[in-house]
Amino acid sequence: MNGHGNLAAACVAALTVLLCLHSVRGDYCKVNLCHNGGTCVTGVGDDPFICICDDGFGGDTCNLTETGPCSPNPCKNDGLCEVIAPTRRGDVFNEYICKCQPGFEGAHCQINVNDCANQPCKNGGICKDLDGDYTCQCASPYVGKQCQLRCISLLGMEGGAIAESQISASSVHYAILGLQRWGPELARLNNQGIVNAWTSATHDRNPWIEVNMQKKMRLTGIITQGASRMGTSEYIKAFKVASSFDGSTYTTYRVDGQRRDKVFEGNTDNDSTKTNFFDPPIVAQYIRIIPAICRRACTLRMELVGCELNVYSNTTGCSEPLGMKSRLISDGQLSASSSYKTWGIDTFTWHPQFARLDKQGKTNAWSPAHNNRSEWIQVDLEKTKRLTGIITQGAKDFGVVQFVSVFKVAYSNDGKSWSIVKDENTGKDKLFEGNIDNNSHKKNVFEPPFYARYVRVVPWEWHERITLRMELLGCDD
Ligand SMILES: *[C@@H]1O[C@H](CO)[C@@H](O)[C@H](O)[C@H]1NC(C)=O
Ligand SMILES: *[C@@H]1O[C@H](CO)[C@@H](O)[C@H](O)[C@H]1NC(C)=O
Ligand SMILES: *[C@@H]1O[C@H](CO)[C@@H](O)[C@H](O)[C@H]1NC(C)=O
Ligand SMILES: *[C@@H]1O[C@H](CO)[C@@H](O)[C@H](O)[C@H]1NC(C)=O
Ligand SMILES: *[C@@H]1O[C@H](CO)[C@@H](O)[C@H](O)[C@H]1NC(C)=O
């Protein structure tokens, strides 16, 4: 945090007037006295009005052009500007070329190339073009950046890789005066014998059976089967699926964008198998099958289909930008404790939606209404992802360099109960080292990585005012 000495010094410069006059509310001029698209603001400071100039213009009324063909940078989307010959033709500079970043083209790198044009998504994946990137929405059971991997291992109910101790249930049916135990450990696909499946107790009104996979796995499907007892068929006709990371909070499976729990179609006889895919896949350690409609009794044999998480993360290193910059993360997924308005003017609101790495413009970052440690910015990734790092960046508010120098990171799976990332050595809240200037990228790695749907950055120390642009790093599993 900054001392008051610096603040006084900063007030000398005309453009930093906002720092001295926190409570002043500005307004637009009745007549725009600024040239070249500048914004005219009145009621701020001693001058009757001030102009906020568009890129490339300066001076009190924005009637001066700036100093060289590459200053300010005319190239969009991080294109590099190179001066060819420093000659001046009237007021127009055109003796430069823009060298574009991958994914952009045009004289000023203003065209976002359609990264989907080459059809990068395999196996029926649906491609979505982003700013300088693309994303594939894979059809289950395919996973990976390009849906190139098949996630279809049988996880070991039938084969035995899942041990008896990993399978539990809400209740057990005892038949023939308690001599037959239809326990959860029997719920293995194609199990044979007279007692060969799990059946819930007759009185159990909320039955379930659960498998603890002992680590987080990706599940792409389930194969179910009934059984016959004393010559009659018993099976689950319809069921729901819930999953959990920790065995205490469970999420019932829903298809993306649907408000109701998904009800899966189950079996129709005692022996044939029914396969259901999870599309999108489930990432969890615990998976629970919740019978909804049972024929005679809730009786089940099953197999789980999926794969290890690192099949994907290892091939990519799991440090992909998750989409702050590319806009894969949409505006609606970003929120914050509050937003600052320069001079109280709505147009100069520092929305959380502006906290995108390398965002350009006059208000090009998130900044909260107050500078204290209660403020936060939140990303809802919409599904659980593996988070491995974060890049942060400061910005300038009309010339004043502002940034977050120290921050904490919190995460959550439900948006309600939060965990703060801890320092591995001390066990205390980890204080991440942030920025030192208005523009450079500071990368921090999460060691160990964590899984979460919601991520919050909590500024802890800052320069001038809390001001943040950022990118999250991780991968889809
Ligand atoms: C810019 O405007 C000021 C007054 O508004 C004027 O004195 C000055 O000559 C102008 N400069 C140019 C380059 O037009
Ligand atoms: C159970 O399934 C087997 C194989 O499909 C079939 O032969 C048998 O008749 C079925 N039993 C009952 C009780 O429906
Ligand atoms: C992950 O990738 C690294 C480097 O490519 C390799 O050395 C390692 O064996 C891989 N791990 C697994 C589990 O495949
Ligand atoms: C932060 O500022 C707000 C508004 O002034 C105040 O309500 C809140 O209590 C402050 N929090 C801390 C930790 O100082
Ligand atoms: C802000 O960052 C840019 C790009 O790194 C740099 O050229 C400029 O000098 C910085 N501005 C200030 C006021 O430090």
pLDDT digits (tens, 9 = 90+) for 318-348: 788 999 998 999 999 999 999 999 888 887 8
Q: Which ligand is nearest to the CA of 372?
A: 4
In this model, does residue 6 exceed pLDDT 50? no
Which stretch of 139-153, 273-287, 401-415 has the lowest confidence by average pLDDT?
A: 139-153
The radius of gyration of the chain's CA atoms, rounded to the nearest angstrom, is 29
Q: How far is the CA of 37 from the centre of ligand 1 (A)?
A: 15
What residues contact 357, with CB distance under 8 A and at least 6 apart?
321, 324, 325, 391, 393, 441, 469, 470, 471
pLDDT at 94: 61
| Cis ω before 141 (30° cut-off from 0) | yes
Residues 58, 72: contact at Cβ < 8 Å? no
pLDDT at 312: 47
pLDDT digits (tens, 9 = 90+) for 211-228: 999 988 999 999 999 999
20 sits in which H/E element: helix 17-20
In this model, does residue 268 exceed pLDDT 80? yes
Cβ < 6 A, ligand 2 pocket: 228, 231-233, 269-271
pLDDT at 75: 87
pLDDT at 23: 46
pLDDT band at 154 (very low <50, low <70, confident <90, very high): very high
CA-proximal residue: ligand 3, atom 8 (nearest):
314
Structure tokens at 366: 């998130």
CA-proximal residue: ligand 3, atom 4 (nearest):
314
Whether 272 lines ligand 3, by a CB cut-off of 6 Å, is: no
pLDDT at 333: 97
Q: Which atom of ligand 5 is nearest to the CA of 399?
A: 13
Question: Among 12, 32, 28, 31, which residue's Cα sits nearest to residue 20?
Answer: 12
Alpha-carbon gap, residue 28 to 303, rounded angstroms? 66
Whether 310 lines ligand 3, by a CB cut-off of 6 Å, is: yes
Instruction: Out of 314, 318, 475, give the residue to mutate to test ligand 3, the one with the largest number of ligand atoms within 8 Å of its CB.
Output: 314
Taking residue 15's Cβ as centre, other Cβ atoms within 10 Å add up to 15
Structure-model confidence comparison of residues 144 and 261, the more confident one: 261
Q: Which atom of ligand 1 is nearest to the CA of 64?
A: 13
Q: Which atom of ligand 3 is nearest to the CA of 310?
A: 13
Mapping DSSP to helix (H, G, I), strand (E, B) and coil, where does residue 5 land? helix
Q: Which atom of ligand 1 is nearest to the CA of 63?
A: 1
Alpha-carbon gap, residue 138 to 118, rounded angstroms? 16
What residues does 432 pair with on adjacent strands? Answer: 407
Average pLDDT, integer, range 283-296: 96
Structure-model confidence comparison of residues 392 and 144, the more confident one: 392
Alpha-carbon gap, residue 18 to 45, rounded angstroms? 8
Mapping DSSP to helix (H, G, I), strand (E, B) and coil, where does residue 346 land? helix
Q: Which residues of 143-161 are buried (b: 16+ CB within 10 A; e: fewer)?
A: bbbbbbbebebebbbbeee
Which stretch of 153-167, 233-247, 299-313, 346-360 has the lowest confidence by average pLDDT?
A: 299-313
Q: How far is the CA of 63 from the centre of ligand 1 (A)?
A: 6
> What domains appear along the chain, each with residue ranges and CATH number?
4-65 (2.10.25.10), 80-112 (no CATH), 153-314 (2.60.120.260), 317-475 (2.60.120.260)
Percent of all residues in the chain with a pLDDT value above 90, rounded to a whole number: 55
In this model, does residue 397 exceed pLDDT 50? yes
Whether 316 lines ligand 3, by a CB cut-off of 6 Å, is: no
In this model, does residue 9 exceed pLDDT 60? no
Q: How far is the CA of 438 from the centre of ligand 5 (A)?
A: 6
Rounded alpha-carbon distances, angstroms, from residue 415 to 205, 329, 335, 337: 30, 17, 12, 13
Residues 467, 350: contact at Cβ < 8 Å? yes
CA-proximal residue: ligand 5, atom 7 (nearest):
439
pLDDT at 310: 64
Alpha-carbon dihedral sign for residues 449, 450, 452, 456 = negative
Length of the chain in terms of residues written: 477
Query: Residue 91 — left, alpha, or beta (φ > 0 → left; ψ -120 to 50 → alpha)?
Result: alpha
The β-bridge relationship of strands 142-143 and 173-175 is unpaired
198 sits in which H/E element: strand 198-199
Whether 314 lines ligand 3, by a CB cut-off of 6 Å, is: yes
Instruction: Out of 15, 393, 396, 438, give the residue to mutate to test ligand 5, the one with the largest number of ligand atoms within 8 Å of its CB.
Output: 438
Q: How far is the CA of 130 from the centre of ligand 5 (A)?
A: 28
Distance of CA 465 to the CA centre of its chain: 25
Mapping DSSP to helix (H, G, I), strand (E, B) and coil, where does residue 221 land? strand
Instruction: Out of 270, 295, 299, give the residue to mutate to test ligand 2, the one with the largest number of ligand atoms within 8 Å of its CB.
Output: 270
Alpha-carbon gap, residue 407 to 108, rounded angstroms? 35
Compute the mean pLDDT over every residue in the chain, rounded to the nearest whole number: 87
Cβ < 6 A, ligand 4 pocket: 370, 372-374
pLDDT band at 435 (very low <50, low <70, confident <90, very high): very high
pLDDT digits (tens, 9 = 90+) for 57-97: 777 888 887 667 777 778 888 888 888 765 555 545 467 88
In this model, does residue 238 exceed pLDDT 50? yes
pLDDT at 87: 52
- What is the DSSP secondary-structure string of 292-338? EEEESS-EEEEEEEEEETHHHHHHHTT-EE-STTTSSS-GGGEEES-
Instruction: Out of 338, 339, 340, 372, give the residue to mutate to test ligand 4, the one with the largest number of ligand atoms within 8 Å of its CB.
Output: 372
Q: Which residues of 49-77 are buried (b: 16+ CB within 10 A; e: fewer)?
A: bbbbbbebbbeebbeebeeebbeebbbbb
- Alpha carbon dihedral 10, 11, 12, 14, in 10-degree steps, equals 110
pLDDT digits (tens, 9 = 90+) for 188-203: 999 999 999 999 999 9
Q: Which ligand is nearest to the CA of 315?
A: 3
Whether 63 lines ligand 1, by a CB cut-off of 6 Å, is: yes
Structure tokens at 403: 């940034």
Instruction: Out of 61, 62, 65, 66, give the residue to mutate to test ligand 1, the one with the largest number of ligand atoms within 8 Å of its CB.
Output: 61
pLDDT at 193: 94
pLDDT digits (tens, 9 = 90+) for 450-470: 999 999 999 999 999 999 999
Average pLDDT, integer, range 31-35: 87
What residues contact 134, with CB distance under 8 A and at least 6 apart?
115, 116, 120, 121, 127, 128
CA-proximal residue: ligand 5, atom 9 (nearest):
438
Q: Which ligand is nearest to the CA of 311?
A: 3
Q: Which atom of ligand 4 is nearest to the CA of 373?
A: 13
Burial class (CB in 10 A: 0-12, 13-18, 19+), 299: buried
Which stretch of 245-259, 307-321, 411-425 has the lowest confidence by average pLDDT?
A: 307-321
Percent of all residues in the chain with a pLDDT value above 70, rounded to a whole number: 90
In this model, does residue 5 exceed pLDDT 50? no
- What is the DSSP secondary-structure string of 414-473? SSSS-EEPBPTTT-SBP-EE--SSSS--EEEEEEEEEEEEEEEEEEEEEESS--BEEEEE
Q: Which atom of ligand 2 is nearest to the CA of 270?
A: 1
pLDDT band at 4 (very low <50, low <70, confident <90, very high): very low
Structure-model confidence comparison of residues 288 and 16, the more confident one: 288
